[in-house]
Structure 1
Amino acid sequence: MTIAVNPEMHPALVLNADYRPLSYYPLSLWSWQDAIKAVFLDRVNIVSEYDAAVSSPSFQMKLPSVVSLKEYIQPQKNPAFTRFNVFLRDHFTCQYCGHDGELTFDHLIPRSRGGRTTWDNIVTACSPCNLRKGGKMPKDAGMHPRMKPFQPTVYDLHNAGRKFPPNHLHESWMDYLYWDAPLEP
């Protein structure tokens, strides 16, 4: 079936050469255009395809739904210290009250008291809790995080990311996304 392809549709799941996703959260996806370009540059193998295809006057190709890199990319050992990765480490919940709305981050030891912006001094907080704690120490505010902050590994973030699947998961991706899930009898 040849269709007019919307750039937002038909993303390709990108697997490393060992058939594991490059990333779980955000899920390693390429647009169909990038996937086709990588096929023509001989950088990937097509593992699975959509029913949809693109064509030119002299060529037709099914759109890849899963591709694997031909060369293995060594995963990062230490994830970047970003707001998103802090939220992911803390499962997108306030570490004081457990809610998941209006998230920001809080310095356990306030910057006004010498606290630094580091993995082990930052926690996810909702706006009301962050405002309530203010520039106080956790003990003085009577607010202690549910989980002690830590510097996560890429593995920690991948495991956390598995709990937040994207809105769209194509059926051809399932064997590669949940390869460590228990098998059903």
Structure 2
Amino acid sequence: MLSDSQHFPALVLNADFRPLSYFPLSLWSWQDAIKAVWLDRVSVLSEYDEIVHSPSHEVRLPSVIALKDYIQTARRPAFTRFNVFLRDNFSCQYCDTRLPTHELTFDHVIPRSKGGRTTWENVVTACSPCNLLKGSYMPHELRMYPSRTPQQPSSWQLQDNGRSFPPNYLHESWRDYLYWDSELEN
């Protein structure tokens, strides 16, 4: 039996053998992966050495699975705080400092108090000091312009940006299915 402290996530690939998502990386718990295998919804491409037992079966835990039915990705990603940060590579668009998510905010380029809307084209990632400095001023009033003109990204652009941020944990069996912009380390 597996102890609660042990985790054996399965990398989930679409039917075209590409990850459903790079950031966050598409992972299922070993329990969900086993259930999907049992229901014949996925193909197992690689396995861990770990085995789980039921009264009548013994199963090696899948480490890489591929969906049997292709899931179409949304062409237009949802407007969320996280997706804005991902579009902007987790960097303040005013000072270009890359920060962890909990240290980022988003800024309305044209302030809401001056008619600015909360849209892809008017919201950028900002660090707290830059956001406080800009406040409700127009960009030209302080000469604070975003380093890139904000626009709605495609799902492909967000996935591509996500490949710049490999997760801390990568099982060896996943490496043939993942393509990162930076070299992978053990």
Which category of TM-score, normalised to the shorter sequence, fits these structures?
over 0.9
In the alignment, the residues of structure 2 paired with residue 104 and residue 168 of structure 1 have an alpha-carbon distance, to the nearest angstrom, of: 27
For residues 94-148 of structure 1, what are the alpha-carbon distances to aligned partners after superposition, in whole Å with 9 as ceiling and x for unaligned? Answer: 0001223420000000000000000010000000100000000111021111111
Q: Letter of the 2:140 partner, please give it.
A: K
Partner of 2:46: 48
Q: Letter of the 1:107 partner, please give it.
A: H
Partner of 2:72: 74
Partner of 1:168: 169
Q: Secondary structure at the match of 1:119?
A: coil
Q: Secondary structure at the match of 1:120?
A: coil
Q: Letter of the 2:133 partner, please give it.
A: R
Q: Moved runs in structure 1, 4+ residues, more than 4 A? A: 179-182
Partner of 2:33: 35
Per-residue deviation, 1:161:
0.2
For residues 1-37 of structure 1, what are the alpha-carbon distances to aligned partners after superposition, in whole Å with 9 as ceiling and x for unaligned? Answer: xx52437611001001110111111111100000000
TM-score, L = length of structure 2: 0.92
In the alignment, the residues of structure 2 paired with residue 179 and residue 45 of structure 1 have an alpha-carbon distance, to the nearest angstrom, of: 24
Per-residue deviation, 1:57:
3.0
Partner of 2:134: 133
In the alignment, the residues of structure 2 paired with residue 179 and residue 105 of structure 1 have an alpha-carbon distance, to the nearest angstrom, of: 27
Q: Letter of the 1:161 partner, please give it.
A: G
**Number of residue pairs matched by the alignment:** 180
Partner of 2:114: 113
Q: Letter of the 1:145 partner, please give it.
A: P
Matched residues, percent identical? 66
Alignment match of 1:63 (pick from 54, 61, 65): 61
Q: Letter of the 1:131 partner, please give it.
A: L
For structure 2, the residue ranges without an aligned partner over 5 or more in a row are none
For residues 23-59 of structure 1, what are the alpha-carbon distances to aligned partners after superposition, in whole Å with 9 as ceiling and x for unaligned? Answer: 1111111000000000111100001000111112322
1:6 and 2:4 matched:
yes
Q: Letter of the 1:21 partner, please give it.
A: P
